[in-house]
Structure 1
Amino acid sequence: MIPGKYRSVSGRAANNVNCGLHLVIQTSSLPEKNKVEFKLSKDTSSFPGRLLQHDLERNYSSRQGDHINLVSSSLSSFPILQRSSEEKILYSDRLSLERQKLTVCPIINGEDHLRLLNFQHNFITRIQNISNLQKLISLDLYDNQIEEISGLSTLRCLRVLLLGKNRIKKISNLENLKSLDVLDLHGNQRDVDNLPCLQHLFLSFNNISSFDSVSCLADSSSLSDITFDGNPIAQESWYKHTVLQNMMQLRQLDMKRITEEERRMASVLAKKEEEKKRESHKQSLLKEKKRLTINNVARQWDLQQQRVANIATNEDRKDSDSAQDPCQIDGSTLSAFPEETGPLDSGLNNALQGLSVIDTYLVEVDGDTLSLYGSGALESLDRNWSVQTAGMITTVSFTFIEFDEIVHVLPKLKIKFPNSLHLKFKETNLVMLQQFNALAQLRRVDQLTIDPQGNPVVNFTLWKYYVLFRLSHFSMQKINGTEVTQNDMIMAERLFGILAHVASSELPQYRLISILGDARKKQFRYLLESKGKKPGIINEENNDSKRLVGENTNRATLNYTTRDFYNEKLEEIKEKKKFCKMYIEDLVKEATEINMKNEALQKLWPQMFIELVRDAVIEIRNKNSYMKLCLQQITDQK
């Protein structure tokens, strides 16, 4: 408190919300007998409380209410206030009309000497009929329905105006109140641009949760004393330095003098807060750009899937018979690549045109995770990654990228990020178990996460067991966040062990030899690398070496052919089928013709036989002539 100007109760009482708080407005300009005292009621929701002088607290309201009469006037729509002579003498300078269910201000005649007037807890909508009370110092209109401040221009002595819990949207018509020292507007929308003389503003216990709602107070150059205690903002860490930074003219905050050190600290903290806001704003922009880019990539992906589905549908219509026949390649059955088909968003094109971000891919490094969105992001693997960043990456996430395109960059992934142990796939068109075979070429995989969205392969009940079987040399620890147990490994071997045996049995000998050659190369490379190293280092690398060369030969026969290779083989198969079909048709046609000739021969043969016998008999009828003819034919042939 400022000595000589304000008086308050002890600090102990001030800190207790159940105790009353007495405030005395500036007394240096008032004689002792005119001193006005205020009390904050125990109900903090009705701050600043009832404005009664201390001696009126002794049942003043009830006693006065018994002697106040409001008489209806036939000449006016306003009631007329009447008090007895004794009441006027006893309470000559104050009047309380609290809780009288008033909707208008009554006409107050013969009370020009009033200095305190209380209209608390009524239904008054407009300030009227008090312009004659020019000696009025305090006017309490708390908890009414006033929408506009008016009718106060003549009250030049008014120093306290309490308008809390009303419906006021704008402060106006207060320019003539040169003596106004205290203004309470809690529970209203505040605007102090037109109050150049306002010095003290009490906003305690008004449920103010944001500084933005009172930021207009910074425009008041005359405001020197303000209270925000009891509001949610007063509990925030930024509260004090934010208020001081925006209201440099303040001398007191929450009834405490502001020191220069506090101003300096407020300035320093405000700068830090500003830097944080700028950084936060920057991060928000980056997050928004990331969100828009991912949305754009998702739209491009949907369009691509829709085009692929349409092409596949058209091809199926043209050659439905050939699409239904199974085709054998190297003893393995090839199946078609099913695509997710669905209705395309009708507003997709319009939304795509209105998108401000046109990037079709996104590369993001967040901690130890590298996230790739869109096929264009795969080109980032060709960058010159720093050793520190590359060594930090342990998780690689692929989203909105065809799995066949990912397969092509798996060797780069193994080289660029040697510590990558966890792979994530979302919207990558993993549609069959055979695709998991491609992951065997990696150096090491401890965890695998396949999102059901855009990966129909997870609809197969046994897909996890196939992954464990095919990639058993990795000793995988988790699949989709679930720990891999020894029972899982045993079950995987039981389910798919025979598959690897059949595949290796049906594989051509030259393919088997090439696979065995690769395995031998891996073992030989490991032996060369471990030569000359200390035993301890070799033991530490023993597990990794098992991962490198531990791939079973039978499992290695379960390889993956990309879609391009599959399409090439499919075209080759179609050509072979076409040739076979034409060849068979020619054979059938030739056989049919031979059969027709045979049937005709059977019909003509009896007659032909008779004619042949007759011709032979005629020729040998003259023996000498026949012999000469035969000798002549023999001579001609020589």
Structure 2
Amino acid sequence: MLFKHISMVNYEKPSVNICRTVLKPIHCTIRTCFHSNNTLRGMTDVPHLDAAGNLRLLNMQHNLISHLQDLLHLQRLVFLDLYDNRVIDMSGVSSLTSLRVLLLGKNRIQRICDVDGLTKLDVLDLHNNQISQIENVSRLSKLRLLNLSGNRITRVENLQGLNCLTELNLRHNSITSVTDVENLPRLQRLFLSANSISRLDALACLWHCRSLSELSVDGNPVALESCYRQTLLRCCSPHLQLLDMKRVTEEERRTASVSARKEDEKKKESHKQTAHKERRRLAIQNAAQQWEGLKACLELPAQNGSKEDVSPEYSPAHSPAQTNGNTQETSPDDVQSLSISDSHLAELDSETLRLFGPGALETLERCWGVQTAASVTTVAFRYIHFDSIIPMFLRIRLKFPNLTHLMFMETSITHLPQLAALAQVRRLEQISVHPEWNPVVRLTLWRSFLIYRLQHLNLQKINGTEVTMNEIMASERMFGALGHVAATETPRCRLLLLLEESRKRQLQFLLDGRGRRSGVSPDDLKENGKQLGDALSRALFSYPSRLSDGPEVRPAPHILRLIDQRLIHRASGHCVKADALQKLWPSLFSEIVRDCVLEMRDKQAFRQTRLQRFHSESHT
């Protein structure tokens, strides 16, 4: 039936009620309307109407229309309602260049297409269809309302060009991520209820929608988080009035504002920590690269795998030489950076001072607070040649009174005399030497030598293994004999140079015989002499100071081992003979005295015999 001069239309569904405000400006121009009623349902095609050139509003709800190709004769159509039909393809609507309202809800549409010609479109309703993607809407520059609820959309995207859009309805989809919403400069209402958004990060684009006044995200997994509402109020537009259909109160805004300031401070601190971590990583990496060049010059064995395989965050506390039992990785957030540059790093982690690169040794020269210095119990060296560390041992001893553990990673300890330099520390319970970058660990005697040389330090662990009494006795037998021989053959002036002032005075006191004259008991003299002898024996195993800056010439390792073995065997033989002589001497001395007395009983015969022996020896 054809109706003329209709001024008002009774709408049958809520989706049309939304459009009443949109249609107010054009109601006065509507001249003809074809209204679907109970007698006209069941149509499968759009009918060819008389006076179609004047038709402005066409309502064909609840029919069986499946295609829209028969709309070419409706050139002046402004309002088209095809709610609850069977439309599959939108092809054909682009010819309606005057259209301002297009209602295609509850159909079977799978794609948004053929809408480029609808440049005047103000309302597009496609709810309850089968659309899986937002697409082909960038030309709808005057669109103010877009309803895509009840579809199969998984991602909000492709919204560029909708510069006039004020309302976007995406309820009841399968959305997991929201993007491109920040490209809608006039968006005021956004409905995302009943979707699959599980993370607040998926809504990050909303933080830039400064015109948003109404937002609905309820019915998503993210809405179950305790901080969900406060986070949205803190991050979204300050003009937000309704959130999940609940009015935003001033108290909520103040709370969100305080939370926002705290969040900004956290972000600044996070950025600062990130920058520091990156600088720390580069410093360690550059120190490692410098060490690679030094390693090539020293001809150290190559590490298994490339340098990139080793994390710059690798801590000495996690090495095979680990002794504290802590296997949990240290977080750089808890580390105090003392000195950092492009090629070195010095940092304090609780009680552990870590030094990366030769430049980090300068940290030891600076003034330290008493409490900070007293808190250091472990010093770890990495990417620093051991010979560069040795001059710092005296300063380390004085600066860190509670030091108990030294750790050496990539430090190139190659021979035993270098280990003797550790005696300068004076108080040490643990030593850890990484076996991969310190070839000295591959020497059979390195542990015994270290135990013997540092016995006065009360050394308890080496590379995490307890020092036993059997090891102490074995090291004493092995190196004590060699030290005794060296002490007896070393000139007095050389011995004085090896000892400290207190030991020098003690040695001079004994050598001059003043102890006996001053009334010191023989037992005390004997005990002092024994202690001094032990100190002398150990002091002879000292780190040789370099007299020139030229390259050091060292014998081949197998020659060094052969010389060490020969010296040890000879020293052991001398000690065995000395012990045997000490046991035989009382009886031997008695026999010598007895023979002399018997021989001198006849003085005349004794003189005659001696003169003859002297005469014969003088002629030979």
2:243 is matched with 253
For residue 396 of structure 1, the aligned residue among 358, 379, 384 is 379
Offset at 1:552?
4.3
Asked if 1:378 is matched to 2:358, the reply is no
TM-score of the two chains, using structure 2 as the length reference: 0.56
Give the conservation status (yes or no) of the 8 Å contact 1:375–1:400: yes
Evaluate the alpha carbon distance shift between residue 501 and residue 163 of structure 1 in structure 2; reply closer, same or farther with a 3 A threshold: same
Q: Match for residue 559 of structure 1?
A: 541
Task: Kindly indicate whether the alpha-carbon contact (under 8 Å) linking 2:185 and 2:211 is maintained by their aligned counterparts in 1.
Answer: no
Q: CA deviation at 1:430?
A: 0.6
Measure how far apart 1:152 and its partner are.
6.6
Report if the CA contact (8 A) 1:147-1:166 is conserved: no
SS of the counterpart of 1:249? coil
Distance 1:214 1:199 in 2: 17
**CA gap 1:563/1:93 in 2 versus in 1, 3 angstroms:** same
**Matches of residues 398-413 of structure 1 in structure 2 within 5 Å?**
398-413=381-396
State the match for 1:506 in structure 2. Answer: 486
> Match of 1:171, as an amino acid?
L
Instruction: Number of aligned residue pairs: give it.
Output: 429
Letter in 1 for 2:255: M
Q: Which amino acid aligns with 2:169?
A: V
> Do 1:227 and 1:255's aligned partners in 2 also have CA atoms closer than 8 Å?
no
* Pair 464,394 (structure 1): closer, same or farther in 2 beyond 3 Å: same
Q: 2:201 aligns with which of 211, 226, 229?
A: 211
SS at match of 2:181: coil
Q: 1:284-334 CA deviation, whole Å, 9 max, x = no partner? A: 22222222222222233333444x44xxxxxxxxxxxxxxxxxxxxxxxxx
Q: Give 1:105's match in structure 2, choosing from 90, 94, 99.
A: 90
Q: Is the 1:242–1:270 Cα contact (8 Å) retained in structure 2?
A: no
d(CA) in 2 for partners of 1:227, 1:85: 31
| SS of 1:398 mapped into structure 2 | strand
Task: Please give the residue correspondences for 1:453-464 in structure 2 after superposition, counting only pairs within 5 Å.
Answer: 453-460=436-443, 463-464=446-447
- 1:266 to partner: Cα distance: 1.2
* SS, match of residue 396 in structure 1: strand
Give, in whole Å, the separation in 1 of the partners of 2:548 and 2:101.
104
Query: Partner residue of 1:605?
Result: none
Which of 257, 272, 275 pairs up with 1:285? 275
Percent sequence identity is: 28
Q: CA deviation at 1:164?
A: 5.4
Counterpart CA distance in 1 for 2:470 and 2:459 is 13
What's the CA shift for 1:263?
1.2
Match for residue 158 of structure 2 among 145, 167, 170 = 170
Aligned to 1:124: 111
Change in CA separation of 1:494 and 1:233 when aligned onto 2, cut-off 3 Å: farther
Q: Which residue of 2 aligns with 1:441?
A: 424
- What are the superposed Cα offsets for residues 538-592 of structure 1, whole Å, 9 maximum, x if unpaired? xxxxxxxxxxx9994376145232462598997899xxxxxxxxxxxxxxxxxxx
In structure 1, how many angstroms separate the alpha carbons of the residues matched to 2:408 and 2:372? 22
**CA distance 1:217–1:161, change in 2 (3 Å):** farther
Q: CA separation of 1:568/1:150 partners in 2, compared to 1, >3 Å: closer, same or farther? A: closer
Looking at structure 2, the residues matched to 515 and 193 of structure 1 have their Cα atoms a distance apart, in angstroms, of: 82
**In structure 1, C-alpha distance between the alignment counterparts of 2:250 and 2:358, rounded to whole Å:** 60
| Contact 2:115–2:136 (CA under 8 A) maintained in structure 1 | no
From 456, 481, 484, the counterpart of 2:466: 484
Asked whether the equivalents of residues 95 and 117 of structure 1 are also in contact (C-alpha less than 8 Å), the reply is yes
Alpha-carbon separation, structure 2, partners of 1:372 and 1:69: 83
1:230 aligns with 2:220: yes
**Structure 1 189/513 Cα, relative in aligned 2: closer, same or farther at 3 Å?**
closer
What is the SS of the residue equivalent to 1:211? helix
Give the alignment partner of residue 408 of structure 2, picking from 405, 414, 425.
425
Q: Within 1, Cα distance between the matches of 2:364 and 2:116?
A: 82
Correspondence 1:58-77 to 2 at 5 A:
none
How far off is 1:176 after superposition? 6.6
Structure 2 alignment gaps of length 5 or more? 1-8, 17-41, 47-59, 66-80, 309-339, 507-530, 556-620
Instruction: Find the counterpart in structure 2 of residue 363 from structure 1.
Output: 346
Partner of residue 196, structure 1: 186
* Separation in structure 1 between the aligned mates of residue 129 and residue 63 of structure 2, nearest angstrom: 26
Matched residue type, 1:105: M
Q: CA deviation at 1:251?
A: 2.0
- Which secondary structure state, in structure 2, belongs to the residue aligned with residue 431 of structure 1? coil
Q: What residue is the counterpart of 1:148 in the other structure?
A: 136
Give the 3 Å change call, closer, same or farther, for CA 424–374 of structure 1 in structure 2. same
The yes-or-no answer on 1:95 pairing with 2:84 is yes
Provide the C-alpha distance between the structure 1 equivalents of 2:380 and 2:229, rounded to a whole number of angstroms. Answer: 42
Matching residue's letter, 1:442: V
Structure 1 residue aligned with 2:519? none
Q: Distance in 2 between matches of 1:510 and 1:282?
A: 62
> Aligned partners of 1:259, 1:388: CA distance in 2, in Å?
51
In structure 2, distance between residues paired with 1:372 and 1:85: 80
Structure 1 residue 387 displacement after superposition: 1.0
Deviation at 1:375, TM superposition (A): 2.5
The Cα shift of 1:413 comes to: 0.8
Between the aligned partners of 1:240 and 1:424, the Cα distance in structure 2 is 49
Structure 2 distance, partners of 1:569, 1:127, is 83
Question: Aligned partners of 1:276, 1:521: CA distance in 2, in Å?
Answer: 59
**Correspondence for 1:452:** 435
Q: CA deviation at 1:414?
A: 0.5
Give 1:181 deviation, angstroms. 5.9
SS in structure 1 of the partner of residue 470 of structure 2: helix
Q: How far did residue 268 of structure 1 move? A: 1.0
Deviations 1:593-635 (A, max 9, x none): xxxxxxxxxxxxxxxxxxxxxxxxxxxxxxxxxxxxxxxxxxx
**Cα separation, partners in 2 of 1:193 and 1:571, compared to 1, 3 Å:** closer
Structure 1 counterpart of 2:127: 139
Q: Distance in 2 between matches of 1:161 and 1:362?
A: 57
Q: How far apart are 1:190 and its partner, in Å?
A: 2.7
- Tell me, which stretches of 5 or more residues in structure 1 are unaligned? 1-29, 38-66, 72-82, 310-337, 348-356, 525-548, 574-638
Counterpart of 2:68 in structure 1 is none
Matched residue of 1:171: which SS? coil
Alpha-carbon shift at residue 423 of structure 1 (Å): 0.8
- Residue by residue over 1:149-173, the C-alpha shift from the partner in whole angstroms, topping out at 9 and shown as x without a partner, is 2687898886665665267632156
**What is the identity, as a one-letter code, of the residue corresponding to 1:505?**
V
Of 175, 182, 187, 2:169 maps to: 182
Deviation at 1:497, TM superposition (A): 2.3
Q: Which amino acid aligns with 1:282?
A: K
CA-to-partner distance for each residue in 1:404-447, whole Å, 9 max, x for gaps? 22111211111111111111112211112332221122121122
Q: Tell me if the contact between 1:501 and 1:554 (Cα under 8 Å) persists in the aligned partners.
A: no
Distance 1:476 1:235, change over 3 A: farther
Indicate the larger mover: 364-373 or 151-160: 151-160
Counterpart of 1:297 in 2: which secondary structure?
A: helix
Check the 8 A contact 2:134/2:157 in 1, yes or no: no
Q: CA deviation at 1:241?
A: 3.1
